[in-house]
């Protein structure tokens, strides 16, 4: 089952449990499905593109929403650059390693 299907199934079962005088679906099974949904959400997050700064390759990006025009203004928190790009996390980490000589996700704090 895909993540959104799990969420719909959880909502459906909880809905019927609220409508009935006694739970129709086992609440322990619903909790297990919720745990499975959390795991699949984490797996899916690795497939989403990330936004990074083209100058310093930082992924610390601030998004400012302008209320009057419904536009967004994005910039890098580390270097204040507005030249941003997006790609898959593994592609970004390859760029980071090429520039800094070490993998970001395995880098040790000094």
Higher pLDDT, 42 or 96: 96
Whether residue 55 is contained in a domain is answered as yes
Whether residue 35 is contained in a domain is answered as yes
pTM above 0.85, yes or no: no
56-65 long-range contacts, CB within 8 A, separation 24+: 56/81, 57/92, 57/95, 57/96, 57/99, 57/100, 59/92
Distance between CA atoms of residues 92 and 52, nearest Å: 8
pLDDT in tens, 54-66: 999 999 999 888 7
Residues of the chain above pLDDT 90, percent: 39
Whether residue 107 is contained in a domain is answered as no
Q: Do 55 and 87 lie in a common domain?
A: yes
Report the domain count for the chain: 2
Whether residue 30 is contained in a domain is answered as yes
**Domain residue limits at 9:** 3-45
Mapped onto helix, strand or coil, the DSSP state of residue 63 is strand
């Amino acid at each position: 089952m895909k993540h959104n299907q799990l969420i719909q199934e959880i909502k459906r079962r909880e809905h019927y449990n609220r409508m009935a005088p006694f739970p129709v679906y086992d609440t322990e099974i619903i909790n297990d499905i919720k745990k499975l949904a959390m795991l699949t959400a984490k797996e899916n997050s690795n497939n989403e593109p990330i936004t990074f700064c083209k100058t310093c390759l930082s992924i610390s990006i601030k998004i400012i929403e302008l209320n009057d025009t419904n536009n967004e203004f994005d910039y890098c928190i580390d270097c204040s650059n507005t030249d941003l790009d997006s790609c898959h996390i593994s592609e970004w980490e390859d760029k980071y390693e090429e520039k800094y000589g070490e993998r970001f996700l395995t880098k040790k704090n000094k």
